[in-house]
Homo-oligomer: A and B are copies of this chain.
């Protein structure tokens, strides 16, 4: 019987493990952190799960936070720095949701273990992957930091050699949700973006602020200031920057109760986007497939990383069930089947970080047409189609025409 090793217990590792377990394929998770360490640790990210990811959770029986209650249904856009500030909204067909991964991952790991799943705690570096390969028919590597470097970077898919944003993600009290409940997508031209995210935290509903700060801009310091040195000063600085750069978020802040939830609820840093090769053959002959961050790291500005990783897990899971061997032919199949989606996420996100004029024009057009903005918003659930729509000026023009024409027809 085929035995699968999954190295890493993030969203893609867990989704693949739960899927295989559901289909009686022997699987072992290798990870370097216990559920308690994750639950009690620092904020991991602030990523949304879009409908396609939630649908997979439902199929696996791990959709513990019902999207109708915990989710949100739109993007609330604001732009400042233009002659007139802009504000517009795009609606989803189905809700998305954001759960603090310190709740989400331990809960799914617990589901996996309660259903009889095996977890081995230990190092998850390249040497470990080689060793694990000897005991299994396939290793799926989903530990980006530990073992991602085993997979070569693909230069043709990596336009950047350094981070394009310096990041500050934190969970805050004191911000009222928009009506209808949505993610705030705020832009301060020349300085960066703010994603204002209705997150479910250990203290219930709260707001994650993900500041995407352009290096050299007025907001870059948010990636550097230290909360623990002076919590009051930290909150004060964030509030001042919100007021100045993101007034359409600030207008819903209650200054009296505003503040970071706690010292572990902040993640500051930066990342360089990368796409790596899909697979390698280990010295023992077993193939190792890259998945999630070990395969593709994107800036969080579009909130697509977890969804791309979960999609990849699904492709791999179905291919394992369906195919006849776990050989190079299998690995190439996985690569082909996930390429449009995973590279769509990567190409689209890389484009958004330094948008060409036609993409800026698309945002302006979205401000004029709700139908167009809805189409762009719904494509967060179809990142392959989103890349189709922004890859070239001609494509963006056709996308605008298609959806504004629909709108005109709908209005007749």
Bound form: Cα–Cα A392–B324 in Å: 10
Complex interface: chain B residues within 8 A of A69 (CB): none
A336 within 8 A of B: yes
Smallest CB gap from A391: residue in B:
B329
Complex interface: chain B residues within 8 A of A254 (CB): none
Q: Mark A387-408, 1 if CB is under 8 A from B, else 0.
A: 0110110110011001000000
B336 touches A339 (CB 8 A): yes
Bound form: Cα–Cα A394–B2 in Å: 13
Complex interface: chain B residues within 8 A of A329 (CB): 388, 391-392, 395
Q: How far is the CB of A386 from the nearest CB of chain B, in Å?
A: 11
A265 within 8 A of B: no
B324 touches A399 (CB 8 A): yes
Bound form: Cα–Cα A336–B392 in Å: 19
Bound form: Cα–Cα A388–B391 in Å: 33
Q: How far is the CB of A284 from the nearest CB of chain B, in Å?
A: 16
B325 touches A394 (CB 8 A): yes
Q: Please list the 6 inter-chain residue pairs (A to B) with the smallest Cβ-Cβ separation, ordered nearest first.
A: A324-B398, A324-B395, A325-B395, A325-B394, A329-B391, A324-B399
Q: How far is the CB of A149 from the nearest CB of chain B, in Å?
A: 28
A136 within 8 A of B: no
Complex interface: chain B residues within 8 A of A325 (CB): 392, 394-395, 398
A173 within 8 A of B: no
Bound form: Cα–Cα A324–B339 in Å: 19
Chain A interface size, as a band, is 10 to 19
Complex interface: chain B residues within 8 A of A32 (CB): none
Complex interface: chain B residues within 8 A of A392 (CB): 325, 327, 329
A126 within 8 A of B: no
Complex interface: chain B residues within 8 A of A339 (CB): 336
Bound form: Cα–Cα A391–B391 in Å: 36
Complex interface: chain B residues within 8 A of A388 (CB): 323-324, 329, 333
Bound form: Cα–Cα A402–B322 in Å: 11
Complex interface: chain B residues within 8 A of A394 (CB): 324-325, 327
Bound form: Cα–Cα A399–B323 in Å: 9
Offer 24 A-B interface pairs, CB within 8 angstroms, sorted by A. A323-B388, A324-B388, A324-B389, A324-B394, A324-B395, A324-B398, A324-B399, A324-B402, A325-B392, A325-B394, A325-B395, A325-B398, A327-B392, A327-B394, A327-B395, A329-B388, A329-B391, A329-B392, A329-B395, A333-B340, A333-B388, A336-B336, A336-B339, A336-B340
Q: How far is the CB of A404 from the nearest CB of chain B, in Å?
A: 13
Bound form: Cα–Cα A327–B398 in Å: 12
Smallest CB gap from A337: residue in B:
B340
Q: Mark A372-391, 1 if CB is under 8 A from B, else 0.
A: 00000000000000001101
Q: How far is the CB of A137 from the nearest CB of chain B, in Å?
A: 11
Task: Tell me the chain A residues, 315-351 only, with Cβ under 8 Å from chain B.
Answer: 323-325, 327, 329, 333, 336, 339-340
Smallest CB gap from A399: residue in B:
B324
Bound form: Cα–Cα A98–B399 in Å: 43
Bound form: Cα–Cα A225–B262 in Å: 90
Bound form: Cα–Cα A339–B399 in Å: 27
Q: How far is the CB of A290 from the nearest CB of chain B, in Å?
A: 19
